[in-house]
Amino acid sequence: MKKIILSLAFLCAGIGAFAQQYVLEKTIAIPGNGGYDYAFIDQANHRLYTSHGTAVNVIDLNAGKVIGAIKDMKGVHGIAICNDLGRGFITDGKANAIVVFDIKTLSTIKTIPITGKGPDGIIYDPASKKLFAFEGDSNSAAVIDPKEMKQVATVSLPGAPEFAVTDGKGLIYNNLEDKSMLAVIDTRTMKVKHTYPLTPCGGPTGIALDKAHQRLFTVCRENKGMSVINAATGKVIETLPIGAGVDAVIYNADLKLIIASNGDGTATIFKQQDADHYTLLQTLQTKFRAKTMAMDTETHKLYFPVADFQPGTKNQLPDSFKVLVYDLK
């Protein structure tokens, strides 16, 4: 009984120490129509990039307004930035290509053809100084040299890749959606080093990493859960309930928050008590199909790209694309 009382006291103290909650601050309207996917923040330049049909819209976070777009692609998904080169990289899924652009002028520099099909997510790995574009239709990842602007390798994967995260030291953790499996890629050998089952997770999408505690957070659609995983062993420690239709997840080391964005119009926010204990802090009401997001790590504001839809359908209303901005209050 004493242990239970102490645990409850610890839990309440943790919640009480973080009384703030996210509230809607404003909406930023974005011109044009088309589907939408990833959101990415270039923290150094205070810019938000949102994939949007055949373009990527760019928002100045300080001004809170659209400042331009990278256009004329076939079907965009992920965005990555290499500030030391002054270049950005976009996966054009329908063209099976990576589009390179100048981050100052937003003009296209080069289109890199890749060998796989359906490039989706893309991340930069600082250990290898390479970009990894995850090809959902080819069970592979294209490895891009951002300086030479060309594909230099392919990583074969035992399933269809979804979101991925790098530890910055030579390992990439990648969810395999169709296998409900986690693949660990060695970025020096360009090969899969380990695979781990994610049971009870089904259909994993987003993934985030707590580097200090070596904990991964994988969000899964089939069981509407977020699994906490030991990154060193691949062991699932705990699975917590979240909303339906999840896509992305974020971990913020400063606030000790884990946030899952769900397509059902909610974002599930957990407070990390320690490496293996998590408490539901808030179920944030967003909008239907606001399933991806980005966080400004300086202001801690959340940005959700979303459009309006005909009630009860997935039919998008024209000229309704926007970014919802939430702040801690």
pLDDT score at 17: 56
Closest CA to 307 of 49, 65, 37, 94: 37
Q: Return the CA Rg of the chain.
A: 19
* Distant-in-sequence, close-in-space partners of 221: CB < 8 Å, separation ≥ 6: 202, 203, 205, 244, 245, 246
| Closest CA relative to residue 226, chosen from 197, 198, 254 | 198
Q: Cα–chain-centroid distance for residue 30?
A: 20
pLDDT along the chain (329 residues), means of 10: 42 58 98 96 98 98 97 98 98 98 98 98 98 98 98 98 98 98 98 98 98 98 98 98 98 98 98 97 98 98 97 93 97
**What does the pLDDT read at residue 312?**
86
For the entire predicted model, the pTM comes to 0.94
Q: Report the alpha-carbon distance of residue 209 to residue 250 in Å, rounded.
A: 8
Per the DSSP assignment, residues forming a β-bridge with 194 are 184
Q: Is the dihedral angle over the CA atoms 12, 231, 175, 307 positive or is it negative?
A: positive
Ordered structural domains, the chain, with CATH: 20-34+198-329 (2.130.10.10), 36-195 (2.130.10.10)
Q: Which two tokens stand for residue 147?
A: 């300086």
Residues forming beta bridges with residue 282, ordered by sequence position: 269
Distance CA 249, CA 252 (A): 10
pLDDT of the residue at 19: 75
Q: Which amino acid is located at 171 in the chain? A: L
Locate tokens 């062993």: which residue? Answer: 233
Is the CB of residue 172 less than 8 Å from the CB of residue 132? yes
In sequence order, the β-bridge partners of residue 225 are 220, 241
Whether the Cβ atoms of residue 277 and residue 298 lie closer than 8 Å to each other: no
The C-alpha atoms of residue 211 and residue 78 are separated, in whole angstroms, by: 23
- CB burial of 88-101 (b: ≥16 within 10 Å; e: otherwise) equals bbbbbbebbbbbbb
- Angstrom distance (rounded) from CA 103 to CA 301: 22
CA 315 – CA 285 distance, rounded (Å): 21
Provide the 3-class DSSP secondary structure of residue 275.
coil
Paired with 56 in beta bridges are 51, 70
CA 218-239-133 angle, to 5 degrees, is: 10
- Determine the pLDDT at residue 6: 40
DSSP annotation of 45 reads: G
- Alpha-carbon dihedral sign for residues 247, 207, 217, 236: positive
Classify residue 61 by its DSSP letter: T
